[in-house]
Structures are given as C-alpha cells and as structure tokens.
Amino acid sequence: GGLLNSYLIEISAEVLATRDSETGAPLVSVILDKAGQKGTGLWTAVSSLELGCPAPTIAEAVYARSLSTLKEQRLQAAQLLRGTAPTPVPAAQRETVIGQLHDALYCAKICAYAQGFDLMKTAAREQGWQLDFAEIAKIWRAGCIIRAELLEDITNAYRRNPALPNLLVERICQAVVEASARKLLVCNVATERGETDRYAVEDYLQALGAHCDGLEFDGILINDKLTGTLPPQAQIEWVTPRDANERYVFADVVDDERPWRHDSVKLARAILRWYAKGTKSATLPRDNSAQRARVEQRHGTREQPTKV
C-alpha cells in the first residue's frame, strides 16, 4: 500500500531483496548494468521534441538507459572521475532517510505523470483528438503494467476538472510542501532583464511563496563569486541577498566564461557538499557584512525592487 504502490515498485523491491543462489551476493550486484529498451520511452521523448512539449524527466530516463550501454566508456571515466566514497546511514537516521527518499520519489513520479499527460494533451490538440484523461488513467490503473496507486488520484483530478491545464497545478505544490525531503533552492546567478530587474534573493523567495503557500527551503544556494564581466547591453546584475539568513549557503557556482550562468560541475559539487554536511553545518553566519560590502562596491546600494 501507500502513495508509491505500483506493480513496478513491487517487482523492484522483490528483485532488490533477492540474492544470487551461487554467490550469495545481492542479485543486482551480479547482473550486468547495461539496460536495453523497447522504444516506448524513445518515442515519447521524440514526440515531446516534435511537439515542443517539455518532458525532461521522461527524456532523462531514456538517456540513462542509453548511457548504461556505454560500459567501457563508463569504466574509463570512473578511473578519472572518482566520487566520494559512500557512507552507511546511521541506524538512528535510517527511518528519516527512508522517509526523505519516499517523498523525493513521490514528487518525481508526479512530475513524470504530469509531463506524460501534458504531452498527450498537446498531441490531442494538434491532431484534433478527444481524449478522456480520467478514463485513460483509470485504464492504466488496472489494465496495464503501470498499475500505480497514484493513477487513482490522477483519475479523480481529471474528473474534478477535465480541463485541468497540468497535473502539477493539482498536486505538486501540496506534495512539495508536505515532503520531508530536504529542499535546496538554487538561486539564479544574475537577474534577467524585463523579468527580474534588481531582484535580490529575498524577492525570488517571495515570488515562489506567492505561488505555493507554505513552501519552505532548508537551504538557499547563492553564488558568491562576483567577478567576471556581465554583458552591459543586457542590463543584468548579480543576484545577492539583502540580509543575513542562516539558511543561505554560498559557493562559487558560475561558469568562468559566461559568469551570468551556472557551471554544472561546480553546481553539482556544491549541492553534494550541502547535502553531505547537513543543513546546520552549511549555513550562513549571521554577519554577512563582507558579502554585502562586495555587492555595494560593485553595484552601489541596491534599491528596493518591485514586489511580485
């Protein structure tokens, strides 16, 4: 039972709990980590590109399968890119971590379903089809390999509102707010002309809160490398905080060649450090006068931006 209950979850749990009869090792440890595919994910990803309907979660799943087939390249890369050694979860934190993984997977499933149904809606509009999404979800709930408990909620959502623009409107805010998983907001490196002029970190938080009441973050990751040249014609500036906050986490996360954008490798490292250290050990000191001094030296005292 539970929010994650589905046929695929059930068989995954069974496989993970099975040991190899010859070696006694977990079965997954003796199976070659190269996944094939029948093509349904590929067709879905291609359709999303053709229709201009984003389905990044589904597409990334396809890419992950494709990447798994590159076994030799992965082995070579593993010799050069050595990550941190995994550490066992302390017994006292086991239930907490399991709860966080549960909520994170639940949110990801909602996103995947939302993308899939949005893709069907877009295709129906393009082709002139009349699709009953409540009935489709009902069929998937009991008549195909998916058989997920979440599909009952999706059926009910479309019955309440057949014209629902996107499943995320119905469930994502509630799911994110109630999730026990630690939440880290990655703040923009620079403002965007015409949309976030003269925004500070606090304005982004206020805008998010206006659209999702009760949303709170355990950490807010902010770039602290205020060097490099921002394009003057774009009239953008660094995104920095006005005040100190114990949830603020600072790191160099900018692309050295394009300092108004994130560097994916730096960003990944900063996120991993934050998660590994825990929220309390990766917080901003109360006195951030040095940080503010650098901001004011570069841009002058920031005017109060327009609220969203």
Q: Which residues contact 44 (CB under 8 A, 6 or more apart)?
A: 55, 58, 62, 116, 119
Burial string for 29-68 (b: 16+ CB within 10 Å, else e) reads eeeeeeeeeeeebeebbebbeebebebebbbebbeeeeee
> Is there a contact between 82 and 17 (Cβ–Cβ < 8 Å)?
no
Helix (H) or strand (E) holding 223: strand 219-223
pLDDT tens readout for residues 177-193: 887 778 899 998 888 77
Question: So what's the pLDDT on residue 208?
Answer: 82
> Is there a contact between 267 and 185 (Cβ–Cβ < 8 Å)?
no
When pLDDT is cut at 50, 70 and 90, the band that residue 172 belongs to is low
Question: In terms of Cα–Cα distance, which of 89, 139, 77, 146 is closest to 112?
Answer: 146
Q: Both tokens of residue 193?
A: 């002309």
- Alpha-carbon distances of 7 from 14, 44, 150, 230, rounded to whole Å: 11, 21, 12, 51
Q: What angle do CA 212, 264, 62 make, to 5 degrees?
A: 80
When pLDDT is cut at 50, 70 and 90, the band that residue 308 belongs to is very low
Question: So what's the pLDDT on residue 227?
Answer: 74
Specify the length of the chain in residues: 308
Does the structure show a pLDDT above 80 at 212?
no
What is the share, in percent, of the chain residues with pLDDT greater than 90?
36
When pLDDT is cut at 50, 70 and 90, the band that residue 231 belongs to is low
Question: So what's the pLDDT on residue 198?
Answer: 84
What 3-state DSSP class applies to 197?
Answer: coil
Q: Both tokens of residue 105?
A: 């997977």
pLDDT tens readout for residues 41-54: 899 999 999 999 99
Question: So what's the pLDDT on residue 302?
Answer: 39
Strand partners, 251: 223
What 3-state DSSP class applies to 58?
Answer: helix
In terms of average pLDDT, the best of 90-99, 142-151, 236-245 is 90-99
What is the edge-to-edge ordering of all strands in the sheet holding 248-251?
A: 184-186, 219-223, 248-251
Task: Say how many CA atoms lie within 13 Å of 223 toward its Cβ.
Answer: 26
pLDDT tens readout for residues 127-137: 999 999 999 99
Strand partners, 6: 148
The Cα 251–Cα 259 span in angstroms is 13
Does the structure show a pLDDT above 70 at 40?
yes
Average pLDDT of the chain to the nearest whole number = 82
What is the share, in percent, of the chain residues with pLDDT greater than 70?
86
Burial string for 198-208 (b: 16+ CB within 10 Å, else e) reads bbbbebbbeee
Question: So what's the pLDDT on residue 234?
Answer: 56
Strand partners, 185: 220
Question: In terms of Cα–Cα distance, which of 74, 63, 68, 16 is closest to 41?
Answer: 63
Does the structure show a pLDDT above 60 at 86?
yes
- Averaged pLDDT, 65-69: 92
Question: So what's the pLDDT on residue 159?
Answer: 92
pTM of the model: 0.61
Q: What is the dihedral of CA 54, 57, 62, 65, to 10 degrees?
A: 160
pLDDT tens readout for residues 100-128: 888 888 888 888 999 999 999 999 999 99
Least confident range of 147-156, 159-168, 266-275: 159-168
What 3-state DSSP class applies to 282?
Answer: helix
Question: So what's the pLDDT on residue 166?
Answer: 82
Dihedral sign for Cα 165, 170, 171, 174, please.
positive
